[in-house]
Structure 1
Amino acid sequence: MKKNVLLTGGTGFVGKELTKLLINSGYTVSILSRSKRENTESIFYYTWDIQKQTIEKEAVLNADYIIHLAGANIAEKPWTSKRKEEIINSRQQSAQLIYSVLKKNDKKLDAFVSASAVGIYGAVNGEEICTESTALGEDFLGLTCQKWEAAADQFKKLGIRTVKVRTGLVLGKNDGFLNKLTPIFKWRLGSALGSGKQYMPWIHVEDLCAIYLEALKNPNMEGSYNAAISDSTTNAGFSKTLAKVFGYKIWLPNVPGFLIKMVLGEMSKIVLTGRRVSSAKVQQLGFQFKYENLEETLRVCLGK
């Protein structure tokens, strides 16, 4: 029988791509969703309500693996106190709901794999290259990711192999971060943000999904792994390369950091800060990135 993978956040950008890869790799996929959807030959849909802490427990009990991608988008709304609470709770409470079903029913998984983010190292700028053993940030992004990973770590108490994927900026076709930038750069209005020196660790969605697949298949993969290319791309470099893909050189000055702070408030840290990240640990497992050159990756994503 085919192994079943339960996905949370399966209807999002990464979730959709990962679902395709899992099915093509011989797995069946179950997806937890807030609303009921019609099952297909390879995808089974179940409902849950994180706030009410309700779930169709069959989704968990039928799973061999769980990949936990669910979490409120940190860049979708301003960081009010209420929004910050939603961002944290969407990650912690969703994992807790799954954990409670597993524990209550004495259900064992082959692995529990959770999304995390390179934001765990803190919203600061600097030249240090962050490895998985680098000191963790104590700001909102750092603490949010720490709580996210702590929610995953409790699965180890059940004797389940647990993997945490610290994701960088995800690039792909017709979705994600590039979707917001494309109109600006297409009309030749693109420019760097703030100093432009902040690092932008990135990864193509295909490589990210391949890392999740590796986490299922490789019994030696356990703990935290950075999922980003180690190429030291800065915001200025990213902007320059994206403009080149659209056939021009940036002519506008950098957008001043104080203006971005005025518009976005504390959330401006997402775009005005960024750290260098090492992917050596996942590569030591034998994992090879398909997309390592930024310009070539952007051309693939944008069909240029």
Structure 2
Amino acid sequence: MKIVIAGGTGFVGRALTKLLQEKGHEIIILTRHKSGRENDIHYVQWLQQNTRPEQLLDDVDAFVNLAGISLNNGRWTKKQKKAIYTSRMEATLEIVRIMERLTSKPKVLVNASAVGIYPTSTTTIYTEDSTDYATDFLGTTVYDWERHAKRAEKLGVRVALARFGVILGRTSGALPSMLLPYKLHIGGTIGSGEQWLSWVHVEDVARAIYFAITNNDIHGPFNVTAPHATRMKDFGITIASVMGKRHWMPVPSFAMRLVLGEQSTLVLEGQHVLPTVLEKHHFTFNFPHLNDALKDLL
């Protein structure tokens, strides 16, 4: 297959690109830099003045949209929140515009999303059938992101919305910052410890995206979280156990809010999310349990 990736050089994009190369697919990565070829990957410039990437995207089978400024990239100031929101909307609308101009439409668009679309709760369990949506900054951003992606359905393109949980990786994502206190021997429970963390190994994220590309029955939202979410206190205890460190120094909520501001909601609040659609279609997680995921990553 010929697969186009927006955000292909980011955390998830790199893992997906590696997987697709191993499976022998042709990969095109949309980039703000000049078009060219490197390591059997075709880079096509987009989102720059006078660029027309659609002219280089004939007979594409699938689009994957992972583009957008990271939620972990700095304090959520008013300016930063605008950049987070705008980067996602701009990229998604441009992908739809590109598709509109292609003579041969792709079969599928897998668009990134996030479990932040669900309200935070310590008691509710969310699946793809849940219709209770968060109205805070993150919830609104994710809702609009999905809404723009679904415009591609009018072109006859199957749209699958990958609602990512907290993605764990060796050098990127949320895990490195979570490990640091334990490396400094000051690791402990963050906030109340009762908040849910719906996590997922980055390798399973890449595999789930590929699964959605190749499975015609997957459309609309699908949660990309490991089947066994954990509460934050248990997450920290598991990290300490795997690393052979102490779990002892609690980090109060007010301290996190003082340091991170509104961004602190990513660790102080959470959702218990199940990957019901993936399991219904018999997707197998390589890392369904946190202990095994952390042993692999650490």
TM bucket normalised to smaller:
over 0.9
Please tell me whether residue 84 in structure 1 is matched to residue 81 in structure 2.
Answer: yes
- Partner of residue 207 from structure 1, selected from 167, 192, 204: 204
Match runs of 1:174-185 below 5 Å:
174-185=171-182
Query: C-alpha offsets along residues 146-201 of structure 1, whole Å, 9 cap, x if unaligned?
Result: 01101110000101011000001111222222222333212221112110111010
Instruction: Give the TM-score, by structure 1 length.
Output: 0.93
Code of the aligned partner of 1:63: V
- Partner of residue 56 from structure 1, selected from 53, 57, 62: 53
8 Å CA contact retained: 1:4, 1:28: yes
In the TM superposition, residue 37 of structure 1 has moved relative to its aligned partner by 6.3
8 Å CA contact retained: 1:91, 1:148: yes
Q: Which runs of 5+ in 2 are unaligned?
A: none
- Partner of residue 274 from structure 2, selected from 278, 290, 293: 278
8 Å CA contact retained: 1:188, 1:243: no
Q: Which residue of structure 1 lines up, in the alignment, with residue 127 of structure 2?
A: 131
Match runs of 1:111-122 below 5 Å:
111-122=108-119
Code of the aligned partner of 1:210: R
Q: Which residue of structure 1 lines up, in the alignment, with residue 193 of structure 2?
A: 196
- Partner of residue 25 from structure 2, selected from 24, 27, 41: 27
Q: Which residue of structure 2 lines up, in the alignment, with residue 75 of structure 1?
A: 72
Q: Counterpart of 2:222 in 1: which secondary structure?
A: strand
Partners of 2:74 and 2:184 in 1: CA distance: 25
Q: Which residue of structure 2 lines up, in the alignment, with residue 142 of structure 1?
A: 139
Code of the aligned partner of 1:173: R
Query: C-alpha offsets along residues 24-82 of structure 1, whole Å, 9 cap, x if unaligned?
Result: 112110101121365135310111226x5844223443522100000111121222222
Q: Which residue of structure 1 lines up, in the alignment, with residue 37 of structure 2?
A: 39
Code of the aligned partner of 1:294: L
Partners of 1:37 and 1:237 in 2: CA distance: 46
Instruction: Give the TM-score, by structure 2 length.
Output: 0.94
CA gap of 1:238–1:14, structure 2 versus 1, over 3 A, is same
Query: C-alpha offsets along residues 243-289 of structure 1, whole Å, 9 cap, x if unaligned?
Result: 1111133121x211111111211111111100101112211101011
Identity %: 34
Q: Which residue of structure 2 lines up, in the alignment, with residue 264 of structure 1?
A: 260
Code of the aligned partner of 1:13: F
Partners of 1:275 and 1:293 in 2: CA distance: 17
Partners of 2:15 and 2:72 in 1: CA distance: 21
8 Å CA contact retained: 1:32, 1:59: no
CA gap of 1:15–1:280, structure 2 versus 1, over 3 A, is same
Partners of 1:20 and 1:58 in 2: CA distance: 26
8 Å CA contact retained: 1:152, 1:162: yes
CA gap of 1:39–1:9, structure 2 versus 1, over 3 A, is same
8 Å CA contact retained: 1:111, 1:216: yes
Partners of 1:118 and 1:36 in 2: CA distance: 34
8 Å CA contact retained: 2:198, 2:230: yes
Partners of 1:242 and 1:64 in 2: CA distance: 40
8 Å CA contact retained: 1:14, 1:205: yes
Partners of 1:167 and 1:210 in 2: CA distance: 13
Code of the aligned partner of 2:17: T
In the TM superposition, residue 219 of structure 1 has moved relative to its aligned partner by 1.0
Partners of 2:280 and 2:121 in 1: CA distance: 27
Code of the aligned partner of 1:108: K
Of stretches 37-46 and 235-244 in structure 1, the one that deviates more from structure 2 is 37-46
Partners of 2:253 and 2:50 in 1: CA distance: 40
Partners of 1:130 and 1:251 in 2: CA distance: 31
Q: Counterpart of 2:46 in 1: which secondary structure?
A: strand
Partners of 1:147 and 1:227 in 2: CA distance: 19
Partners of 2:56 and 2:289 in 1: CA distance: 39
8 Å CA contact retained: 1:166, 1:226: yes
Q: Report the aligned-residue RMSD.
A: 1.7
8 Å CA contact retained: 2:187, 2:246: no
Q: Which residue of structure 2 lines up, in the alignment, with residue 163 of structure 1?
A: 160
Partners of 1:101 and 1:15 in 2: CA distance: 20
Q: Counterpart of 1:143 in 2: which secondary structure?
A: helix
